[in-house]
Amino acid sequence: MNELHNRFRPSRSPCPIGRASRLLGDRWVLLILRESFLGATRFEEFLPNTGINRAALTSRLSAMIEHGVLERDPPTGRRAEYRLTEAGRALAPVMAAMRNWGDEWLVDRDAQSF
> Is 8 inside a domain boundary?
yes
60: in domain: yes
pTM of the model: 0.83
**Spatial contact of 59 and 4, defined as CB atoms under 8 Å apart:** yes
- How confident is the prediction for the chain on average, in pLDDT? 88
In a domain, 113, yes or no: no
Asked if the bond preceding 16 is cis, omega within 30° of 0, the reply is no
The answer to whether residue 43 sits within a structural domain is: yes
Domain contains 108: no
pLDDT in the model for residue 1:
37
- Quote the number of domains for the chain: 1
Helices 27-37 and 92-105, axial angle in degrees (round to 10): 110
Residue 84 domain boundaries = 3-100
**Tens-digit pLDDT profile for residues 7-58:** 555 667 789 898 899 899 999 999 999 999 999 999 999 999 999 999 999 9
106 part of a folded domain: no
The full 3-state SS of the chain, as one line of letters, equals CCHHHHHCCCCCCCCHHHHHHHHHCCHHHHHHHHHHHCCCCCHHHHHHHHCCCHHHHHHHHHHHHHCCCEEEECCCCCCCEEEECHHHHCCHHHHHHHHHHHHHHCCCCCCCCC
Rounded CA gap, 114 and 99, in Å?
A: 19
Which CATH number is 35's domain given? Answer: 1.10.10.10
Show the CA angle centred on residue 104, arms to residues 94 and 87, nearest 5°.
5
Q: Is residue 38 part of a domain?
A: yes
What pLDDT sits at residue 78? 85
